[in-house]
Amino acid sequence: MKYVLLFVDDEKFSRELQAMGPAERARAYERANQWFATHADRITGGQKLRDPETATTVRLGDGEPVVVDGPFVEGKEIVSGYAEIDVADLDEALRMVRTWPGCPVVEIRPVETEPLK
């Protein structure tokens, strides 16, 4: 079963990460890198995303599309990255996520396997 893991930072986590010294921050990133290495056989893709201020949002609907700089919502939580995984089932995805050493929220979302029509 294919899932996407959405890694979500919150304001508290971002503040704590910024407050870390270089060595402590490097250790935090190394723990995340080790998690990816441990699960490399099930991770099929993914990336860290740039800060939400770098986003461009296109609002479609009535009239002409509206293009704005920045994230589509201003919120206290932001998606900071994602990983695509291929596992047996949701239970296996949950076991993986329970060991995630990084940001405080991980959304697990199944990938639609039916072709788009």
Convert the pLDDT of each residue in 37-56 to its tens digit: 999 999 999 999 998 888 88
Question: Picking from 4-8, 28-32, 49-53, 78-82, which range would have the lowest pLDDT averaged per residue?
Answer: 49-53
For residue 117, tell me if it sits in a domain. no
For residue 85, tell me if it sits in a domain. yes
- Residue-range definition of the domain harbouring residue 86: 2-110
Supply the CATH number for residue 44's domain. 3.30.70.1060
| Residue 77 pLDDT class (50, 70, 90 cuts) | confident
Mean pLDDT, range 86-91, rounded to an integer: 97
Structure tokens at 84: 């695509």
For residue 115, tell me if it sits in a domain. no
Give the total number of structural domains in the chain: 1
CA angle (103 as vertex; 99, 108 as ends), nearest 5: 65
For residue 86, tell me if it sits in a domain. yes
Mean pLDDT, range 66-78, rounded to an integer: 73
Whether residue 63 is predicted with pLDDT greater than 90 in this model: the reply is no
For residue 52, tell me if it sits in a domain. yes
The DSSP secondary structure of the chain, one letter per residue, reads -EEEEEEEEEHHHHHHHHHS-HHHHHHHHHHHHHHHHHTTTTEEEEEEPPPGGG-EEEE-SSSS-EEEES-SS--SEEEEEEEEEE-SSHHHHHHHHTT--SSSEEEEEEPP-SPP-
pTM assigned to the model: 0.84
For residue 56, tell me if it sits in a domain. yes
